[in-house]
Structure 1
Amino acid sequence: MNIEIITTSDGSHSLLNTALNETYHSKHGALQESVHVFIKEGLDHFLAGKSQKDISILEVGFGTGLNALLTIQRALELPNNIIHYTSLETYPVPEEIWSRLNYIDSVGLKEKFNQLHQAKWNEAVPITSNFNLCKLQTSLLQIDFSSEFDLVYFDAFAPNKQPEMWEIDVLKQVVNAMRVDGIFVTYCAKGQLKRDLKSLGLEVETLPGPPGKKEMVRGVKKN
């Protein structure tokens, strides 16, 4: 893989794909971005006011494992909830790279971070008593979902770097796999994305983005 470790403005690591000249996270802060977009505006928003016990999450882009690690961190605070976490990744990050990432300096959970990366691909693996992981080594373009999801972390590379992942037919596949009242969150706030999500039946909000980024998007499936 053509990747190298970089340090973002909040001190946390990200990766630079040198072939695409694209980072895996915001250069303004990888940890800040993931917490804001996927945990605060995604998981926490979904949980607010709900008594639902089982939560199914789809992540498009396992990458460094940061989103999954932060979700485990929240899961440990939510003993009455069980999180089923499905993550897609076409090109897994090799151990020589992920083992040097510094997320545990801020988040902790070193053992869990290692378990996330060392878990077998293409099968369900319990990481904690209430967090089950299923990593699928495949692209969103190559999968048909048989399950339904309450929450989608859409964390693919940016539309100008990986446009095929943001086409309406692909987004439709994701929306079709969401339950009613399911939530879709992404760091991207492009106008075309918002129009496409609305056309697919989501109520779309443009929200303040993480530090260094003006906006992000959240969509809720209503039918």
Structure 2
Amino acid sequence: MKVSTRLVLTADGSHSIYSEETRQHYHSIHGAWQESRRVFIELGLQEAFGRFSDEPIRSFEMGFGTGLNALLTAQEAEQRQRYVHHTAIEAYPVPLDEAHQLNFDQLLGTNYLHQLHEADWNQIVQIHPFFSLIKVHGMLQEFQTVDRFHLIYFDAFAPEAQPELWTETVFRQMADILLPGGMLTTYCSKGYVQRNLKAVGFHVEKHSGPAYKREVIRAVKPA
């Protein structure tokens, strides 16, 4: 499926992409970088490094998208010299010519955004000594794995665009692939999203969000 998209510049100087089909931006227009950093790195990966201090981290991402979350994860892993194996699922990949226009490497001082986007699908690719990636091309609801993860970045489009991905059924699927004590972080704090997370056993924490976002969510699977 060809997805109609266009590049946009967000308020913190980082790029995002606008999807004509969903009428949604891939990131906050108030700052793509700062949103991803707050929701997925500070509340997710950094917390996982602390909770699971003696083992490599296995992270799972719903929506590879622009590659920003994976890039920030690779950067954090390299800086801390903690190994992360990152799995990301994406049904509609960003075209490479558009991905190559994204300014994340320039902004963050990294040099592997192109590697992330050019990595073969459905294969483990070593990006640097502390970070490996497997991109899964497919739908979340059809995803099956024997792996168990310490951390999930739940970065689907907003519920009004993809209501099928914010249900009890999907959150139960996410809980099933998490290790005890594992976490799911997401930018969406709508009441029914919190209720659906709680219904499948998550302990829901509310945390301050990035710019113009009062609350974001970290949901913890009981140990």
TM > 0.5 fold call = yes
Distance across 2 between alignment mates of 1:160 and 1:210? 21
Distance across 1 between alignment mates of 2:101 and 2:129? 27
Equivalent residue, structure 1, for 2:147: 147
Distance across 1 between alignment mates of 2:105 and 2:43? 22
Distance across 2 between alignment mates of 1:101 and 1:74? 19
Report the CA distance between 1:50 and its aligned residue. Answer: 4.2
**Mapping of residues 11-160 of structure 1, within 5 Å:** 11-48=13-50, 50-79=52-81, 81-110=82-111, 112-160=112-160
Which digits, 9 at most, give the CA deviation of each residue in 1:171-217, with x for residues without a partner? 11011100000010000001111111112111111111111111100
Equivalent residue, structure 2, for 1:170: 170
Report the CA distance between 1:87 and its aligned residue. Answer: 0.1
Where 1:76 maps in the other structure, the secondary structure is: helix
Distance across 1 between alignment mates of 2:51 and 2:207? 20
One-letter amino acid of the structure 2 residue matched with residue 194 of structure 1: Q
Which digits, 9 at most, give the CA deviation of each residue in 1:85-143, with x for residues without a partner? 00000011111101001111211222x11110111000111111111100000111111
Distance across 2 between alignment mates of 1:84 and 1:105? 24
User: Would you say how many aligned residue pairs link Structure 1 and Structure 2?
Assistant: 221
Report the CA distance between 1:28 and its aligned residue. Answer: 0.5
Distance across 2 between alignment mates of 1:25 and 1:134? 22
Equivalent residue, structure 2, for 1:185: 185
Equivalent residue, structure 1, for 2:199: 199
Report the CA distance between 1:27 and its aligned residue. Answer: 0.7
Distance across 2 between alignment mates of 1:25 and 1:119? 22
One-letter amino acid of the structure 1 residue matched with residue 202 of structure 2: L
Alignment TM-score, normalising by the size of structure 2: 0.96
Change (3 A) 1:188 1:2: same
Gaps (5+ residues) in structure 1? none
Where 1:133 maps in the other structure, the secondary structure is: strand
Report the CA distance between 1:163 and its aligned residue. Answer: 0.5
Distance across 1 between alignment mates of 2:54 and 2:166? 30
Moved more, 202-211 or 48-57: 48-57
> Does structure 1 conserve the Cα–Cα contact (< 8 Å) formed by 2:39 and 2:187?
yes
Distance across 1 between alignment mates of 2:43 and 2:67? 18
One-letter amino acid of the structure 2 residue matched with residue 99 of structure 1: H
Distance across 1 between alignment mates of 2:25 and 2:50? 31
Q: Share of identical aligned residues, percent?
A: 42
Alignment TM-score, normalising by the size of structure 1: 0.96
Question: Among 7, 10, 23, which residue is 1:8 paired with?
Answer: 10
> Does structure 1 conserve the Cα–Cα contact (< 8 Å) formed by 2:48 and 2:57?
no
Report the CA distance between 1:37 and its aligned residue. Answer: 0.4
Distance across 1 between alignment mates of 2:53 and 2:19? 40
Distance across 2 between alignment mates of 1:162 and 1:217? 18
Gaps (5+ residues) in structure 2? none
Where 2:79 maps in the other structure, the secondary structure is: coil
> Does structure 1 conserve the Cα–Cα contact (< 8 Å) formed by 2:15 and 2:32?
yes
Report the CA distance between 1:53 and its aligned residue. Answer: 2.3
One-letter amino acid of the structure 2 residue matched with residue 82 of structure 1: Y
Which digits, 9 at most, give the CA deviation of each residue in 1:143-162, with x for residues without a partner? 12211000000000000001
Distance across 2 between alignment mates of 1:51 and 1:26? 31
Report the CA distance between 1:49 and its aligned residue. Answer: 5.5
Distance across 1 between alignment mates of 2:137 and 2:163? 20
